[in-house]
Amino acid sequence: MKEIEKIALAGLLHDIGKFYQRAENKDCEYNKDDFKYTHACLSYRWIIEHKEILQKAFNINIEELANLSAKHHNPDKSKDLEKILQIADWFSSAEREKILEDKFDYLHSVFERVSFKEEITKDIKYFSYYKLKPLSLDKESIFPKTVEVEISNNEITYYNQEKLKNFGSYKILYEEFEKELKKLQNFKDTQALNFIYYLLQKYLWCIPASTFDINKKSRHYPDISLFDHSKVLSAIATSLYDYWKTNLDNKKAIELNYNKLKEESFLLLIEGDITGIQKFIYNISKPQEIEKFSIAKALRGKSFLVSLISELLARYILKELNYPIVNALYIGGGKFQLLVANTNKNRKKIENIENQINNVFFEKFGGELGIVLAYKKFSGEYLEEKEKSFADVIEDVQILLDKKKKKKFKNEILKEIKDKSYLCPSCKTVSVEEENQLCSICENANKIGGKLPKVKYLVFDLDNKNIPKADFELGDFGKVYLVEEENINKFKDFDEILLLNDTNLEINNGFKFIGNIAPLITENNKKFFDENFTEELKEGEEFREKSVIDFTILSKLAEGDKKLAVFRADVDNLGLIFSDGLKKKKETDTHRYTISRIATLSRMLDLFFSGYINKLAEEVSQDFIKKIEGLKELNSLIYIVYSGGDDLFVIAPYNVILEFALRLRKDFYEFTAKNLTFGMSGGIFITHPALPIYLLAKFSEDLESNSKKSFYLRERNNR
């Protein structure tokens, strides 16, 4: 196991004693003075008690790991790695503020804290808490329970607090965690580190990193989960380690001093943003002369490709810079943010990678898709949000990205492009060798779209392993395999195997949420479609099991007029929410804009739009499927073209879309802690299924824009 991975593992486990303590009410049998606090001592005890299973997974000294992890409050002055963990803990804990004394020690929703006004505690009308449940896509688990409150002179009056009954038990949650931890023995080193990362995400996402303690006069507002705190600490610790080690190797000693590092730019925030996503996905048509090409399949495949690219590139960059998965602050919606050390080596590698990426993108996508990378160095002071803020770092990176977008492919467009006589008959953008020949992207999208219903796992190959027929390749940046359940054993040696839309951990050591539900032909409903819609098929075509239902057939399932509806929506003012919603508005405000809160906010929004959106589509669909005579089973009437980050594009029978839009807004309101700062605008376009997809996208986008304008006009007129 690499030393930087050991640092990451120690960071992830540094506060495991808090979970252990709350679940088992254990005391520490070791000398507490060695650790300063009981929870740190219990982190040591937990690691030692699990020495056997940890030793099988990691080729390291477990006693050394226990000290490195647990002594983050009281490091040995001669142990530099222990000091690195202590400093990382200080920086990652700088977000904690002393405000209200809440008598309920549950995790608050981070959405509570977002406001464009001054000190948020004056305006909070609701407190929203998460149950002690493993992470899943179940609404009862991931939606907060909200109670109305009134705040006066820092005193809280609670209403309808009976909702806070049956919130789960730390003991039961811990027992489930311990049971699943046994699966760690199936993995080694990097595989095992990834397993620990996802396991902690599954169980610690709902546990507050710090709680109110009136006896100790500690009033930490508990809206950061133990997982997010531990992940951010690990990212800072590995970055500081790389910074310290690189300078040490270059004969330049770096003093591991918190106050000095507040002034020293030892961190680097990297952001990647894929451009041209909308045009890439929707620029597609059905070539009449090409058999076995389906708009429904290709559309789904293109959308999936976009999500794969950001995941693949983020992992490739981390691998090239020698970092583990903990340093990915966020990946989703065609974007990613990474935290690494500010070293010459890392900066040069990033610049080289960006040039390589643009070359590959220009050649593979013909300039339709691109990516811009930007980075910003910053000191520890920006993590404390006093004079400076992490918001300033984000803002500077966004400015750099915007500038780069205007110069996209500036080098590539000067190169000589090989003249080809024909354009792909589907996207009409990429050149091909022969007439009526699909480009590799459209062909691949069609294949992926057809395969997706059978896919259960996602596997990234960054090492060019000798397994043929990858589903997607991006030059030297790696391959992606979409794996069906019966084939997963072929991939058991890969570092990261992700189960789609399910948090169960078995042969896989991770999970990934992707909004990708679509209506499918199955063994149980094939007869219904054969009997009712065979005349809609072309000669030689037939309904096949696990195939996506064509849009023409889907429209026939509408009530009354047989029309489809296209629905596009996104969160209002999301850029402003991220840039200003957590900022201090005046000096007396508390410190809210922190790296952990931004990471949590991003993760939770993606959980809704990439994960829960599938469950919502299924639930809404079932209410209408019951009314269709003869149809006994169908997974969904809603086709999610794209959903991730903060926006979505879905297609369904018009009557289903209307209900889906209403439910979406209602659920999003509840998910975001009934905070009216989080609005959502959308447009619904009702159409005949034969209209080209790019026109459906354009018309629904225009309606979405009009909905935003009408909202702002109404707000202005009401002032």
Judged against a pLDDT cut of 50, whether residue 518 lies above it is answered with: yes
Q: How far is CA 686 from the centre of its chain?
A: 31
438-476 burial, b for 16+ CB within 10 Å, e for fewer? Answer: bbebbbbbbbbbbbbbbbbbbbbbbeeeeeeebbbbbee
Q: Give tens-digit pLDDT for 571-596.
A: 998 888 887 877 766 665 566 778 88
Question: H/E element holding 52?
Answer: helix 51-57
Paired tokens of 696: 């459906």
203-233 burial, b for 16+ CB within 10 Å, e for fewer? Answer: bbbbbbbbbbeeeeeebbbbbbbbbbbbbbb
Give bridge partners of residue 479 from the DSSP assignment: 461, 473
Paired tokens of 549: 């239902």
Answer whether 646's CB lies under 8 Å from 571's CB: yes
Average pLDDT of span 391-420 = 72
Per-residue pLDDT, 218: 53
Paired tokens of 230: 């531990």
> pLDDT exceeding 90 applies to what percent of the chain?
56
Per-residue pLDDT, 708: 77
Q: Give tens-digit pLDDT for 374-397.
A: 999 999 999 886 778 888 899 999
Complete edge-to-edge strand list for the sheet that includes strand 680-687? 639-644, 647-653, 564-571, 680-687
| Amino acid letter for position 228 | D
Q: Rounded to whole angstroms, how far apart are CA atoms 607 and 601? A: 10
Backbone angles phi, psi at 155, to 5 degrees: -100, 140
Q: Rounded to whole angstroms, how far apart are CA atoms 222 and 206? A: 11
Judged against a pLDDT cut of 60, whether residue 504 lies above it is answered with: yes
Answer whether 270's CB lies under 8 Å from 373's CB: yes
Answer whether 194's CB lies under 8 Å from 495's CB: yes
Average pLDDT of span 300-316 = 91
Per-residue pLDDT, 563: 95
Per-residue pLDDT, 413: 46
Q: How confident is the model at residue 219 (pLDDT cuts 50, 70, 90)?
A: low
Closest CA to 448 of 263, 258, 589, 307: 307
Q: Alpha-carbon torsion 494, 500, 503, 506, what sign?
A: negative
Per-residue pLDDT, 715: 45
Q: Give tens-digit pLDDT for 220-264.
A: 678 899 999 999 999 999 999 999 999 998 888 888 999 999 999
Q: Which residue has the tokens 């979970």?
A: 19
Q: Rounded to whole angstroms, how far apart are CA atoms 600 and 135? A: 14
pTM, whole model, 2 decimals?
0.93
Q: Give tens-digit pLDDT for 53-102.
A: 999 999 999 999 999 999 999 999 889 999 999 999 999 886 555 556 67
Q: Rounded to whole angstroms, how far apart are CA atoms 80 and 68? A: 10
Cα-only R_g, the chain: 26
Q: Rounded to whole angstroms, how far apart are CA atoms 595 and 589? A: 17
Judged against a pLDDT cut of 80, whether residue 152 lies above it is answered with: no
Per-residue pLDDT, 710: 66
Per-residue pLDDT, 482: 95
Q: Give tens-digit pLDDT for 39-51.
A: 999 999 999 999 9
Paired tokens of 311: 């995941």
Angstrom distances, CA of residue 302 to CA of 427, 641, 647, 653, 709: 11, 9, 16, 22, 30
Per-residue pLDDT, 416: 46
Per-residue pLDDT, 614: 95
Q: Rounded to whole angstroms, how far apart are CA atoms 574 and 581? A: 9
What is the 3-state composition of the chain as percent helix, strand, coil, each rounded to the nearest 5? 50, 15, 35
Q: How far is CA 703 from the centre of its chain?
A: 28
Per-residue pLDDT, 214: 53
Q: Give tens-digit pLDDT for 107-129.
A: 999 998 888 776 545 556 788 99
Average pLDDT of span 613-620 = 96
DSSP 193-216: HHHHHHHHHHHHTTSBSS-EETTT
Q: Rounded to whole angstroms, how far apart are CA atoms 359 and 343? A: 25
**Which ranges in 538-628 belong to alpha helices (H)?**
551-555, 574-580, 595-606, 613-625
Tell me the average pLDDT of the chain. 88
Per-residue pLDDT, 596: 87
Paired tokens of 644: 């991730």
Q: How confident is the model at residue 718 (pLDDT cuts 50, 70, 90)?
A: very low
The 3-class SS string of 90-147 reads HHHCCCCCECCCCCCCCCECHHHHCCCCCCHHHCCCEEEECCCCCCCCCHHHHCCEEE
Q: Which of 200-209, 286-295, 543-552 has the lowest mean pLDDT?
A: 286-295
Q: Rounded to whole angstroms, how far apart are CA atoms 616 and 659? A: 11
Q: Give tens-digit pLDDT for 332-369.
A: 888 999 999 999 999 999 999 988 888 888 888 877 88
Q: How far is CA 332 from the centre of its chain?
A: 5
Give bridge partners of residue 371 from the DSSP assignment: 274
Closest CA to 106 of 163, 175, 177, 44: 163
More confident position, 571 or 718: 571
| CB hemisphere CA count around 655 (13 angstroms) | 16
Q: How far is CA 597 from the centre of its chain?
A: 14
Average pLDDT of span 660-687 = 94
First CA to last CA across the chain, in angstroms? 61
Q: How confident is the model at residue 414 (pLDDT cuts 50, 70, 90)?
A: very low
Closest CA to 4 of 239, 315, 313: 239
Per-residue pLDDT, 603: 92
Q: Rounded to whole angstroms, how far apart are CA atoms 32 and 27? A: 10
Q: Alpha-carbon torsion 583, 708, 272, 516, what sign?
A: positive
Q: Is 261 buried (19+), middle (13-18) or exposed (0-12) by CB count in 10 A?
A: buried
Q: Rounded to whole angstroms, how far apart are CA atoms 82 and 34? A: 13
Closest CA to 242 of 93, 351, 347, 388: 347
Q: How confident is the model at residue 716 (pLDDT cuts 50, 70, 90)?
A: very low
Closest CA to 340 of 378, 389, 395, 308: 378
